[in-house]
């Protein structure tokens, strides 16, 4: 199989590159590097020698250019031989150059060095492939990964002279199981990471990313180190200096010491990784990022949050470039705010359109078809700002067959044409459908957006799935067919969902059963099939178990349990989803809690609470002894995530929404608003949603819990992503306690509907 694949790869290469040069026999060559090589030049030469020996079955000596070289040579980096032959032109960052003279090969690279050139030479000229990483933490059978090294023993060394600069200086795709990417995978995929989730080998001299990646105020001004002695470094909010953390609070933007404190932390990163070039100065991940001190407050009145944050980033960057002139500071821009403050020339903006893009439907649509993203991006580019696009490829926690191939290809070409400097893909790290295929294909497209994606997909599937490749090719064609149908309808109706027909689902099930049977004698291959079969079953078992049919649901659930040990032990796709399935089966047969309205009510007993804004606490007045306390004047402190209840709702039904609350206030004023309840759909979803409000009544003077009917919910889209969030409108030294949220099927609600506000949200 390897020989056939190698022949196929060389056929592709020959078709793409017209002028292949025959250099000679491998035993004629020496690899040469500079007498004082950079870290990357040394690593690149060693890597080339290692793989040439694997390819040609002969060792290739590596020497410094101060030594006498007999015969021909491969020059790696800025050697004296490259200079003597006038190969000295400055190359763009991340680029490579292949030149040939007198039978000698010169491999050079733009900053940070020749590594991309060496890997490209091994892959595109000599046919090596690094398709997928290995995994040792799979209980049933370890996954060895897949590397292809053709046998070239006795054949000539060849090359096609050329220069190339990839369009994106920053290239990162986060698909993987678990938290951290494999360094070797990032290396051979020619990725250039910016986050702390991915990295390259430590001795490769190519890790430009630091540990300061995003939402860094807390890391830059550590409250453990500074808060006790210097509370003035931290934001003043509600009359007090706030001890910030990653999701709450901020720094004081006008304190003159804060930029210097931030610089000191950046110096620590530079010491730990001298190659690091990217450092983030960006606000914490939360709504409480303003400072109300006498110097900051006027700024927030005159400018928006992004402007004030940019002022601070500019100050830090001014200090940093005096010590490291080429450093790049990143800061985050979520929305298309019209900014008045021009960023420093060494600042790159992370453009992260989460409100538009992070939606199971919108992530299937190419970026050039998102009008608001296109307009906002053009405004940034036209202002001559450096932009790194923060993309959202797949919803965290959703593991369905998800055909984002075509949109990814078109999006990367659009971003290339828009002159975006970098691309970071925030995608599923717990395991995703066709994860290894996507990471390899998308990495190739990041390197060259004009590559033939269909050929890349076919190449990977044929190599990775072996004798089950026909079934997996059919499966990928099926899900891409569904995408074609979806996108055609989406262009007419933006609320169209990706759906697989009953016939398509049946075909997929048959495909996996056949592939599992074909791979029964090969545990590695069976594991590869099982991991994708799992994703298909995740789609089948998502949503309401009773609507699906409880007996069929149980049957597929048993299949999932039978293959679970083919998944890595640390994959969130694994035990978390099984627990969700179990909960839904149990829900179908549950006993109604005595305080719930009806058997088919859906109750959320605990929302997401945010440190500093709210807390889930013991409460003797609550039915189960626990409740969530929300401090006054703190928006986003209570969040009812859709995934905590959406599986139990029935599409097409309408529900009465009610909330059990009690106030903790000094004075009850009947008719005054206690809280607001709003819908936040990632990616937009249904627009112009009403806001539900809870108002005080005379009953609240007792300080006990009571039910508040908020309105109605029309349930439409079981793939919705987002949350309901609370804004407590009581005073900062007061609070509201939320015990639970309940959805009651409208047909089971027996009270007079005049007791329910005439407002309906859609979900």
Q: pLDDT tens digit string along 365-399?
A: 999 999 889 988 888 787 778 999 999 998 776 78
- Note the pLDDT tens digit of each residue in 646-663: 989 999 999 999 999 999
Is 575 in the same domain as 617?
no
Peptide bond before 112: cis, by omega within 30 degrees of 0?
A: yes
Domain extent, residue 496, equals 477-588
Nearest by Cα to 565 from 536, 523, 511 = 523
Categorize the per-residue pLDDT at 683 as very low, low, confident or very high, splitting at 50, 70 and 90.
Answer: low
Mean pLDDT of 665-673: 94
Where among 144, 164, 184 does a domain terminate? 164
Average pLDDT over residues 82-96: 96
In-domain check, residue 126 = yes
pLDDT recorded at residue 497? 82
Rounded to whole angstroms, how far apart are CA atoms 249 and 235? 7
Average pLDDT in the 45-56 region? Answer: 98
Give the rounded percent of residues in the chain with a pLDDT score beyond 70. Answer: 96
Do 622 and 750 belong together in one domain?
A: yes
Statement to judge: residues 542 and 610 lie in one domain: no
- Residue 542: predicted pLDDT: 87
CATH at residue 35: 3.30.379.10
Mark whether 608 and 583 lie in a shared domain.
no
Give yes or no for residue 8 having a pLDDT over 60: no
Same domain, 578 and 606: no
Mean pLDDT in residue range 719-746? 92
Closest CA relative to residue 429, chosen from 399, 470, 463: 399
Burial label for 474, CB within 10 Å (0-12, 13-18, 19+), is middle
- Same domain (yes/no): 510, 647: no
**Among 164, 183, 212, which residue terminates a domain?**
164
- Looking only at the bridges linking them, the beta strands covering 386-392 and 347-351 are parallel
Q: What is the mean pLDDT of residues 21-41?
A: 96
- Let me know if residue 738 belongs to a domain: yes
Taking all residues of the chain, what is their mean pLDDT, rounded to a whole number? 92
Tokens of 616: 């889930």
Q: What is the pLDDT of residue 514?
A: 98
Which of 241-250, 254-263, 624-633 shows the lowest per-residue confidence on average (mean pLDDT)? 241-250
Q: With respect to residue 31, please indicate whether it lies within any of the assigned structural domains.
A: yes
Q: Are residues 51 and 75 in the same domain?
A: yes
Domain shared by 9 and 157, yes or no: yes
- Is 612 strand, coil or helix? coil
Is 144 inside any structural domain? yes
Tell me the pLDDT band of 717, cut-offs 50, 70 and 90: confident
Alpha-carbon span 619 to 737, nearest angstrom: 9
Angle (nearest 5°) at CA 513 between 139 and 545: 80
With CA atoms as reference, report the closest residue to 281 among 228, 227, 327, 235.
Answer: 327
Question: What's the chain's length in residues?
Answer: 763
Q: Classify residue 392: in a domain, yes or no.
A: no
What's the average model confidence in pLDDT over 732-744? 95
Judge if 578 and 619 occupy the same domain. Answer: no
pLDDT-derived band of residue 684, with 50, 70 and 90 as boundaries? low
Please report whether residue 324 resides in a domain: no
Q: Which of 394, 352, 392 is nearest to 373 (CA)?
A: 352
Q: What is the CATH number of the domain that holds 719?
A: 2.60.120.260
375: in domain: no
Average pLDDT over residues 9-38: 78
Q: Is the pLDDT of residue 180 over 80?
A: no
The confidence score (pLDDT) of residue 695 equals 95
What total of structural domains would you count in the chain?
Answer: 3
Chosen domain end from 164, 195, 229? 164
Residue 526 in this model has a pLDDT that exceeds 90:
yes
Q: How far apart are CA 461 and CA 441, in angstroms?
A: 11
Same domain as 649, residue 552: no
What's the pTM value of the predicted model, to 2 decimals?
A: 0.91
So what's the pLDDT on residue 588?
A: 79
Q: Is 329 a member of any domain?
A: no
Q: What sign results for the dihedral spanned by CA atoms 19, 20, 22, 26? A: positive
Q: Taking a C-beta distance cutoff of 8 angstroms, is the pair 672, 696 a contact?
A: yes
What's the CA gap between 317 and 326, in Å, rounded? 11
For residues 30 and 77, membership in a common domain is answered with: yes
Three-state SS at 505: helix
Question: Do residues 677 and 551 share a domain?
Answer: no
């Amino acid at each position: 199989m390897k020989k056939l694949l190698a022949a196929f790869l060389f056929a592709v290469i020959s078709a793409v590159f017209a002028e292949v040069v025959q250099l000679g026999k491998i035993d004629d060559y020496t690899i040469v590097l500079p007498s004082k090589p950079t870290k990357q030049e040394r690593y690149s030469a060693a890597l080339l020698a290692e793989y040439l020996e694997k390819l040609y079955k002969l060792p290739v000596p590596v020497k410094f250019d101060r030594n006498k070289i007999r015969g021909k040579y491969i020059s790696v980096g800025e050697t004296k031989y490259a200079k003597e032959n006038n190969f000295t032109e400055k190359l763009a960052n991340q680029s490579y150059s292949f030149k040939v003279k007198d039978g000698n090969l010169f491999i050079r690279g733009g900053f940070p060095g020749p590594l991309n050139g060496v890997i490209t030479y091994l892959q595109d000229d000599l046919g090596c492939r690094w398709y997928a990483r290995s995994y040792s933490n799979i209980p049933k059978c370890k996954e060895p990964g897949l590397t292809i090294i053709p046998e070239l023993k006795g054949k000539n060394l060849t090359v096609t002279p050329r220069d190339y600069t990839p369009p994106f200086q920053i290239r990162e795709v986060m698909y993987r199981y678990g938290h951290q990417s494999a360094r070797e995978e990032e290396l051979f995929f020619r990725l250039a990471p910016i986050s702390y989730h991915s990295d390259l080998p430590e001795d490769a001299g190519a890790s430009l990313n630091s540990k300061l990646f995003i939402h860094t105020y807390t890391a830059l001004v550590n409250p453990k180190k500074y808060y006790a002695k210097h509370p003035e470094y931290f934001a003043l909010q509600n009359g007090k200096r706030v001890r910030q953390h990653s999701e709450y609070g901020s720094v004081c933007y006008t304190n003159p010491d804060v930029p210097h404190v931030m610089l000191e932390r950046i110096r620590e990163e530079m010491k730990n990784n001298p190659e690091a070039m990217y450092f983030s100065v960006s606000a914490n991940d939360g709504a409480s990022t303003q400072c109300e001190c006498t110097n900051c407050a006027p700024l927030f009145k005159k400018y928006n949050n992004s402007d004030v944050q940019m002022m601070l980033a500019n100050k830090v960057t001014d200090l940093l470039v005096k010590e490291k002139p080429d450093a790049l500071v990143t800061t985050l821009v979520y929305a298309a705010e019209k900014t008045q403050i021009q960023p420093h020339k060494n600042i790159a903006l992370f453009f992260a359109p989460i409100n538009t893009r992070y939606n199971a439907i919108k992530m299937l649509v190419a970026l050039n078809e998102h009008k608001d993203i296109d307009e906002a991006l053009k405004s940034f580019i036209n202002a001559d700002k450096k932009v790194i696009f923060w993309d959202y490829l797949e919803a965290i926690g959703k593991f369905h067959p998800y055909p984002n191939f075509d949109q990814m290809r078109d999006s990367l070409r659009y971003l290339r044409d828009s002159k975006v400097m970098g691309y970071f893909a925030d995608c599923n790290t717990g395991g995703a459908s066709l994860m290894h295929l996507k990471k390899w294909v998308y990495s190739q497209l990041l390197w060259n957006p004009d590559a033939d994606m269909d050929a890349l997909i076919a190449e990977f599937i044929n190599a990775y799935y072996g004798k089950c490749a026909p079934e997996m090719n059919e499966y990928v064609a099926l899900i891409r067919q569904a995408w074609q149908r979806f996108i055609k309808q989406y262009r007419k109706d933006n609320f169209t969902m990706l759906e697989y027909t009953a016939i398509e689902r049946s075909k997929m099930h048959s495909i996996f059963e056949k592939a599992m049977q074909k791979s029964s004698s090969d545990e590695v291959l069976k594991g590869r099939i099982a991991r994708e079969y799992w994703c298909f079953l995740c789609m089948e078992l998502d949503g309401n178990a009773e609507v699906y049919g409880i007996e069929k649901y149980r049957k597929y659930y048993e299949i999932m349990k039978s293959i679970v040990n083919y998944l890595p032990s640390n994959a969130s796709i694994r035990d978390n989803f099984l627990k969700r399935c179990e909960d839904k089966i149990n829900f179908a047969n549950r006993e109604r809690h005595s305080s719930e309205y009806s058997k088919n009510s859906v109750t959320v007993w605990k929302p997401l609470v945010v440190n500093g804004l709210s807390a889930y606490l013991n409460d003797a007045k609550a039915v189960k002894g626990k409740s969530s306390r929300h401090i006054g004047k703190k928006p986003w402190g209570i969040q009812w995530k859709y995934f905590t209840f959406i599986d139990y709702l029935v599409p097409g039904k309408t529900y009465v929404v009610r909330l059990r609350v009690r106030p903790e206030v000094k004075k009850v004023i009947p008719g005054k608003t206690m809280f607001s309840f709003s819908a936040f759909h990632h990616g937009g979803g249904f627009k112009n949603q009403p806001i539900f409000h809870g108002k005080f009544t005379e009953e609240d003077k007792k300080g006990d819990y009571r039910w508040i009917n908020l309105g109605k919910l029309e349930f439409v889209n079981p793939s919705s992503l987002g949350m309901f969030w609370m804004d407590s409108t009581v005073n900062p030294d007061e609070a509201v306690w939320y015990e639970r949220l309940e959805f009651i099927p409208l047909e089971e609600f027996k009270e007079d509907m005049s007791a329910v506000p005439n407002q309906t949200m859609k979900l």
